[in-house]
A and B are shown apart, each in its own frame.
Chain A
């Protein structure tokens, strides 16, 4: 029998540690870790795209779509079940990606980034002008049960934490398996040399399309989870600066391991909370400087993305 994969073991152990330790953490820490894990899911989907050689500056589109899908189902259709909300978010983002991904699959490089940015800004513009959905205020979102099981408000926070941690571990393991599979190994090949992949008989466009859909569905799910954790959604989730933040965490984490996004996201959230507390007006500067340092001096994550593009 094959020895268990190291990454999967770490993911499982991490999940167990989180579930156990989560019961002991204070509320604010639990909230922070939960949020970091949901954002880590988004960064994981960005990792998939970056391994394909694409940087998406418009991931806020699916993030916001997932959140608003869950919220609309919750508030306007009066469904209080978390499972239904998450399923709807997953489905809606996947469905939108079926169309948008088709358009985006023809583009590479900065045009991919700019077109994805344009789509996310279109959603932003739509949401801001829609008073039914709360315009720039957004609206609150709450859930009372999950898959039919009613939850008391006391246990809800831990339940969400456990749910998010499980999803994170599942997504990490799933992504790891996918990237190790036959189709997944073509992903970095597409980044390295598309022409060669075509000569091998695989379809580059199909791979990029599939990756877009996977990334979008995962991000939509993460958006809905964030909405449930935070309890509030607003159009700012679709703004390009939100997408830029995800890109930053993706660069910080690097693309070498599927567990890196979660660590990077945790680090980012911790740093942000403390930076905001002590010096709110220099946070962006810290982020920008850190990004510059990573790009210039810690290229392992970043160069692996762009290796083979320029001699």
Chain B
């Protein structure tokens, strides 16, 4: 019984982490039809920015509890700076091109950003573990978990709730849904699609950076942290259905639970269990679990 509980709790923690990253990816795809390979480097940028900011804050004698605000601030800053830069500076010229071309473009951006990170922050590892240990740990049925993980789950629930609320209750959310369904008609109806694109990409970047910033205290921040994350996020988003938020939630839950079960019961399959699930879902339901309705275009 204790073992199953460990699997479930680990799964939930991992799923929350995945959800924060995947929801940004699915948002960007849903609105802009761009499969953003650079999402991994936004994640890494968030982690590095968080490491720098928290490091500065603590070195400057700030309160340790303020470091959490620094984490969130780092994520927001990365989103506000990098998002519009890439969207206005590069992607704007390439809308309307074939999807696979845009994948290649974001792949190029990913490569550039990976080296940019190395140029700015160097190649040594950064450690910013104070926020992780500060909240202490909690014991659930004999298993010890850091309270930080609970905070991670809380943040991901908040993000999910915020999206659900914003998309369904606010006017901007409904405009966004309209653009997701049909960009041309939305533009014809008078929605400023370019501004929607800018905001979407910025929010997506911010979410990826949040994932990175929240992960920074738990790992050593090294170059190349974004590479593994991208394929995981893809697996999640493809399983759930590209462009679907409920799909991102369900996808992260599935992937999180599968990985957790694999780690506990059959460690040999841990690495590829996720991709097997992704392949199986793609074969059975090519558009993912929550497929967006699409009219057939000749």
Name A's B-contacting residues (CB within 8 A): 55, 103, 106-107, 109-111, 113-115, 117-119, 121-126, 128-129, 195, 240-241, 244, 247, 251, 281-285, 287-289, 291-292, 295-296, 302, 306, 309-310
Contact = CB atoms under 8 A, between A and B. Distances in A.
A111 B237 CA distance: 12
A94 to B, nearest CB: 20
A282 B115 contact: yes
Interface stretch (B102-110, B124-132, B163-171, B193-201): B102-110
A103 B283 contact: yes
A310 B238 contact: no
Contacts of B286: 106-107, 111
Contacts of B101: 295, 302, 306
B141 interface: no
Contacts of B234: 114, 117
Contacts of B275: 118-119, 121-122, 125
Given A115-B282, A310-B96, A288 B272 contact: no
Contact of A288 (B35, B109, B269): B109
Contact of A291 (B97, B107, B270, B279): B107
Majority secondary structure of chain A interface residues (helix, strand, loop or mixed): helix
B235 A118 contact: yes
Contacts of A113: 100, 103
A282 B119 contact: yes
B5 interface: no
Most chain A beta carbons < 10 A, residue from B97, B100, B114, B115? B100
Given A109-B100, A125-B269, A247-B107, 6 more contacts: A110-B35, A115-B283, A118-B235, A128-B271, A282-B115, A285-B116
B161 interface: no
B268 interface: yes
Contacts of B269: 125, 129
18 contacts: A55-B100, A55-B104, A103-B279, A109-B99, A109-B100, A110-B100, A113-B103, A118-B282, A121-B231, A122-B275, A124-B271, A125-B270, A129-B268, A281-B115, A291-B104, A292-B90, A292-B108, A296-B94
A240 B108 CA distance: 14
Interface of B: 35, 90, 93-94, 96-101, 103-105, 107-112, 114-116, 118-119, 123, 227, 231, 234-235, 238, 267-273, 275-276, 278-279, 282-283, 286, 298
Contacts of B235: 118
B83 to A, nearest CB: 18
Given A121-B231, A124-B271, A288-B111, A111 B100 contact: no
Nearest to A283: B115
Contacts of A296: 93-94
Given A121-B231, A129-B269, A240-B231, A288 B238 contact: no
Contacts of A282: 115, 119
A300 B108 CA distance: 18
A292 B90 CA distance: 9
Contacts of B93: 296
Given A106-B286, A107-B286, A291 B278 contact: no
A117 B35 CA distance: 14
Contacts of B279: 103, 115, 118-119, 122
Nearest to A57: B103
Given A122-B275, A129-B269, A284 B100 contact: no
A295 B102 CA distance: 10
A106 B283 CA distance: 9
A282 B116 CA distance: 8
Nearest to B33: A110
A195 B272 contact: no
Nearest to B278: A118
A114 B238 contact: yes
Contact of B270 (A129, A251, A289): A129
B272 A126 contact: yes
Contacts of A126: 271-272
Contact of B105 (A55, A107, A121, A292): A292
B111 A291 contact: yes
Contacts of B114: 284-285
B122 to A, nearest CB: 9
A147 to B, nearest CB: 36
Nearest to B281: A118
Contact of A289 (B112, B123, B267, B298): B112
B99 A247 contact: no
Given A109-B100, A128-B271, A241 B227 contact: yes
